[in-house]
Amino acid sequence: MIETGSPAAQTIGILGAGRVGTALARLALAAGYEVRMATSRAPSEIELLLKIITPGAVAATAEEVALGSDIVVLALPLFRYRTLRPDLLAGKVVVDVMNYWSPTDGRLEEFEGEEASSEVIQRFLPDARLVRSFNHMGYHEIEGEARAAGALDRRALAIAADDSIAHQAVADFIDRLGYDPVDAGPLRAARNFGAGTPIFGASLARDELVGLLGAASESAT
């Protein structure tokens, strides 16, 4: 469990072993993290898949992922969010990478309003320390665009969170994976880098991202 002054995260848990989950898993493994992954299937059903596409990642149950990881990444389709267990994620640092896309998720009224989808997820997981990030880049870019700290072409990723300790833990994770973390503000500010914004899908350096987030929060006030 991450608390002030505790050592950095060592184990990353990923719920979802699809396009985003496996790309993040490979990058985290390459950065030296231990990685546990779960889907809605039994671990034995994904062991071979993980061995081939994310060698080194351990197949686990959702319960093992939640309880045994310092940071848990939600990389499942958004329409399946109600299958998450709020009790297991209570107190955990949880990164929400899920986007609402009605052609694949179906129309979900709770995500049709002005709120960021992560605000809805936070209500469903009231005791999770929810952080929004990674959602504004494509799965196919996750590994190829990672760069060492200080590289001139290092891409920046926005982070929105209400919990400052969780925010810092995820900022450290992002930096270690190869991206510049940029504070976008509280969870509700995740709207500023959601689908349809200039940030969504754009490969931006830190200064560019800071500028666009600043402009978005000014126009929202």
Instruction: Provide the binding-site residues for ligand NAP, judged by CB under 6 A.
Output: 15-21, 38-41, 62, 75-78, 80, 83, 97-99, 101, 135, 138-139
Q: How far is the CB of 5 from ligand NAP (least distance, A)?
A: 31
Inter-axis angle of helices 19-30 and 43-53, nearest 10:
60
Shortest CB 6 distance to ligand NAP, Å: 26
For residues 36 and 16, is the Cβ–Cβ distance under 8 A?
no
Structure tokens at 197: 């914004």
**What minimum distance in Å lies between the beta carbon of 162 and ligand NAP?**
21
Minimum distance of ligand NAP from residue 139's CB (angstroms): 4
DSSP label of 77:
-
State the number of CA atoms in the 13 A half-sphere of 192 facing the CB. Answer: 26
15 has which bridge partners? 38, 74
Q: Which is nearer to ligand NAP, 105 or 208 (CB)?
A: 105
Nearer to ligand NAP among residue 41 and residue 107 (C-beta):
41
Residue closest to ligand NAP, measured at CB: 18
